[in-house]
Structure 1
Amino acid sequence: MKQFEWSLRLKGFPVNEAKKTQAIIDGFTKADYANYLSKQLQAIVAFHLEHTPFYKVLCGDINTSDWHTLPVLTKTDLQQPLADRLSDKYTVKTVHKHKTSGSSGTPFEFAKDNFAHAMTWVTFMQRYSWFNIDLNTSKQARFYGIPLDTKAYYKERLKDWLGNRFRFSVFDLSDAALDKVLHKFMRTKFNYINGYTSAIVQFAKYLERKNIILKDVCPTLKVCIVTSEMLFEDDKKLLEKQFNISIVNEYGAAELGLIAFEDKNDNWMVNSNHLYIEILDNNNQPVPFGQPGKIVITDLYNRAHPFIRYELGDLGQLSAKSTLQHPILESLTGRTSDFISLPSGKIAAGLTFYYVTKTVMTKEANVKEFIIEQIEIDTFKIDYVATEALSKTQQKAVQLAVDKYLEPNLNLIFAQKAVLEREVSGKLKQFRSGF
């Protein structure tokens, strides 16, 4: 029984129509796809200029026939009542509504029309099938957050049941909690793992300490799909070793769906079925393939709400091997807001701290997780979970690494914690700064 697809159809999402559209797109030649993309971009802009006052006001008097003069939509632009942003063909009762996680600091409510939402899920089905995962029949082990108020909690549990998945909460990653996770894997024929990178990495570290290979205790497992947080190469190697299955990097956003998904050749293939991705510089001008910039995306089918040249707040670059029809995301380097401002005036990526700590917080230091917060322009607090406190020698090693990667004379405050404060969604934001 196609339980998942039927649940979508019962909610009014035209899955069959979306599948037919996807099949047509898949059959396009290079020239066919270029023509299709051009027409879809023109059509979605024309629709929202005619039917969405919010977008028409945003465009003002610019030349809307020139794609590169169209405004780049930011999350701040969307922080107003949803009803004020919808096209006049829809109401808040006739669309699929959802909220972003707010991890960027600018949460907002958004909407999709039923066909656009169906295209989102049909794309997920297609990409997951690359690894022999069928959303209708494959059992998912899900590492995500879950609302704690009763009504929302049971709503998520119902969605989990309809989606043929079992959810492990990421709010408790103690050994006692992970013992229970392991025993659930021993008793359940899970086919794949999906969820937040940091939580799944913690489970792998637990298995490493126990000298257990997950595939040995759950032979039905095929693939692990990590999402929502960065996956670093050494963490990927750890997952491959402890799980003994394929590890796949997924990149998505609630408001857009699946943006990119790794194939079996480790190419991070961009979803070009219903999205158009651009990489822009700080002046909102396109950069060549192979160069980094801001990730800006257009949903080709969402007629309920305009996501046209929408700036996600992420930085990345497309591979030089990319084509219009098959873009490849070469790297994802984090959010535009995740930067460190230093006393010297230097600006560094927040991810620099990941490399700093990895050079010194080895297995010998027993550090499981960490969060770094910039509390003054020259002062950083490092909260970490470890079985033992970092020694003076280990703290000095971190300080020396900071001197090397960032700049000298920065103050570090170390604080050992039993658990780290995760975001409401359950994600772990490893660098925070108000500067």
Structure 2
Amino acid sequence: MNTGEVLRRIVFNLLDASKGGKLQKLKEVNKREIVEGVTEEYMERRLNTLLDYVKKNSAFYRKHPEWKELKDFPVMTKGDFIEHYDEVLVDHYQEQGKLYRLSTSGSTGTPFTVLCDADKMSRINMNFISCMELNGFRMGMKRGEFRAWIKGKNTISKWKSFKNNLIMVDISNMSDESLEKICRDIEKKKIQVLVPYSSALTALTQYLKRTGRDISHWQVEMIYTMGEALPQETYDLSKELFGFTPVRTYGNNENGFIAVQLGEDPEYSIDMFNYYPEILKMDCDEPAEPGELGRIVVTDYYNKTFPMVRYDTGDTGKMRIDRDEKGRIHGKYVEIYGRRGSLMYNTKGEPLSIHVFMNTLLKFEGVVYQARCIQWGEKEYELLVNADRTKLNVEELLAAYRHYLGEDAEIRVTYVEEIPIQASGKFMVCENKWDGRK
């Protein structure tokens, strides 16, 4: 525990206390509700309050008084919200100046910015801290955020960096030279918390293992992963190298963190305090059966500026809802498969987790630098490969992919010099361009 961390925590608590301690109370309630679950009365009250609010204050929803219950409201994709943006935006916020922008990079399609007020922004920040603290984070710890930082787009000022004790770790390039610089920065700047995308953590841990780098002088106490699913091999290797397990999360820039893994629980605990979760069937808006793979849809209780009712996040997963002995409700994402554009199918039409593609790449460490599997048809695939072709056994590589795709998979190999990382800092190991399953 260093002086900078303690001072920032003291300053935060003093400033919050001078304003009535709202943030501290919000954080503690958020943490409690994630762990202990919510009551059915809370869910009904929050949902009814939100639906009444949007029907009175949003032009888009006001046009449909016949929408009474949540199931009556349309499921809205990112594209739907963009198309009806001005109508969805609540009336009295149209001309308001002091609003916050929650922007996605558009790495999987279309850039999208959601507006919110100070209350929702506070909830997003405290939701983030809550999820972190439940896994050992201390307010004020120095964290390094791994992103493709682009000047003038998503970089932060020196003052904000200092205030939040945040170091921008650039992952635009993940070559050994860049990874070496990242390692030097982690040690020199005494970063305590790493906040990487899963693909960046995979690259970093493989580099550490391959080079045998001594990290005993690092001050890293916590790894908090974002984005695409984390391969089990990377999870295990991180524990081996650092002595603790990384925290896996699920969320987005539009809403905030939606679910988090607690301790070594393989399932994700859903934040039922801030969101109403649904899993809908892949081909219609009916609820999926328990344990069935479907579309992740969330309703955000607290964005009163740009209300997001039944937002289809573009991701897929499986969910379980339980009621404990006290009658409190707990939501768990049993597994998160990732975006539908990344949801691949084998030749039998069965869905495949993004994990299998990330795990396959780990088997060819040091030979295959990057690979992306693209599905073009029911049994037609293309494999983009950036590799050392003098060492690559292409038949062995194809056999590894066919193990998951099916022995009758038709795979053509395209060699490339580089597969770019997405603007968000994510690396797509698979992509579905087959209209029959999208």
Q: Which residue of 1 aligns with 2:146?
A: 143
- The 5-angstrom pairing of residues 85-100 of structure 1 reads 85-91=88-94, 93-100=97-104
For 2:191 and 2:127, how far apart are their aligned partners in 1? 22
Q: Which residue of 2 aligns with 1:45?
A: 51
Contact 1:87–1:303 (8 Å) recurs in 2: yes
Contact 1:143–1:200 (8 Å) recurs in 2: no
Q: Which residue of 1 aligns with 2:208?
A: 207
Are the structure 2 counterparts of residues 227 and 157 from structure 1 closer, same or farther at C-alpha, using a change threshold of 3 Å? farther
TM-score by length of 1: 0.84
1:216-249 CA distances to partner (integer Å, 9 max, x unpaired)?
121x321101101111111211222223233110
For 1:35 and 1:55, how far apart are their aligned partners in 2? 24
Amino acid in structure 1 at the alignment position of 2:299: T
User: What secondary structure is seen at the aligned counterpart in 1 of 2:56?
Assistant: helix
Are the structure 2 counterparts of residues 16 and 325 from structure 1 closer, same or farther at C-alpha, using a change threshold of 3 Å? farther
Q: Equivalent pairs: percent with the same residue?
A: 20
Deviation at residue 383 of structure 1 after TM alignment = 2.9
Q: Which residue of 2 aligns with 1:296?
A: 297
Q: Which residue of 2 aligns with 1:280?
A: 280
Task: Count the aligned residue pairs.
Answer: 417
Q: Which residue of 1 aligns with 2:4?
A: none
Q: Which residue of 1 aligns with 2:318?
A: 317
Q: Which residue of 1 aligns with 2:179?
A: 178
For 1:226 and 1:30, how far apart are their aligned partners in 2? 23
Are the structure 2 counterparts of residues 19 and 286 from structure 1 closer, same or farther at C-alpha, using a change threshold of 3 Å? farther
Are the structure 2 counterparts of residues 120 and 348 from structure 1 closer, same or farther at C-alpha, using a change threshold of 3 Å? same
Deviation at residue 348 of structure 1 after TM alignment = 4.8
**Structure 1: tracts of 5 or more residues without a match:** none
For 2:362 and 2:339, how far apart are their aligned partners in 1? 24
Aligned Cα RMSD in Å? 3.3
Amino acid in structure 2 at the alignment position of 1:256: N
Contact 1:374–1:380 (8 Å) recurs in 2: yes
- The 5-angstrom pairing of residues 28-427 of structure 1 reads 33-57=39-63, 60=64, 62=66, 64-80=67-83, 82-91=85-94, 93-135=97-139, 137-148=140-151, 151-152=152-153, 155=156, 158-212=159-213, 214=215, 216-218=216-218, 220-266=219-265, 267-281=267-281, 282-319=283-320, 321=322, 325-340=329-344, 347-349=349-351, 351=353, 355=356, 358-359=359-360, 362-363=363-364, 366-374=367-375, 380-391=381-392, 394-407=393-406, 408=408, 410-417=410-417, 419-427=418-426
1:335-384 CA distances to partner (integer Å, 9 max, x unpaired)?
22334578x7x5454646x6367458624662233222346776544333
TM-score by length of 2: 0.84
Amino acid in structure 2 at the alignment position of 1:147: I
Contact 1:3–1:162 (8 Å) recurs in 2: no
Deviation at residue 400 of structure 1 after TM alignment = 3.2
Contact 1:249–1:262 (8 Å) recurs in 2: yes
Moved more, 364-373 or 193-202: 364-373
User: What secondary structure is seen at the aligned counterpart in 2 of 1:337?
Assistant: helix
Amino acid in structure 2 at the alignment position of 1:309: R
Are the structure 2 counterparts of residues 77 and 235 from structure 1 closer, same or farther at C-alpha, using a change threshold of 3 Å? same
Contact 1:143–1:195 (8 Å) recurs in 2: yes
Moved more, 243-252 or 101-110: 101-110
For 2:304 and 2:377, how far apart are their aligned partners in 1? 45
Amino acid in structure 2 at the alignment position of 1:395: V
Are the structure 2 counterparts of residues 156 and 73 from structure 1 closer, same or farther at C-alpha, using a change threshold of 3 Å? farther
Moved more, 175-184 or 378-387: 378-387
Are the structure 2 counterparts of residues 114 and 360 from structure 1 closer, same or farther at C-alpha, using a change threshold of 3 Å? closer
1:4-29 CA distances to partner (integer Å, 9 max, x unpaired)?
9869x89xxx8943543555566779
Moved more, 378-387 or 71-80: 378-387
Contact 1:276–1:297 (8 Å) recurs in 2: yes
Q: Which residue of 1 aligns with 2:25?
A: 20
Deviation at residue 192 of structure 1 after TM alignment = 1.0
Are the structure 2 counterparts of residues 162 and 341 from structure 1 closer, same or farther at C-alpha, using a change threshold of 3 Å? same
Moved more, 167-176 or 262-271: 262-271
Contact 2:280–2:286 (8 Å) recurs in 1: yes
Moved more, 64-73 or 377-386: 377-386
1:315-347 CA distances to partner (integer Å, 9 max, x unpaired)?
1122465666321221101222334578x7x54
For 2:121 and 2:400, how far apart are their aligned partners in 1? 46
Contact 2:373–2:383 (8 Å) recurs in 1: yes
Contact 2:380–2:411 (8 Å) recurs in 1: yes
Amino acid in structure 1 at the alignment position of 2:82: Q
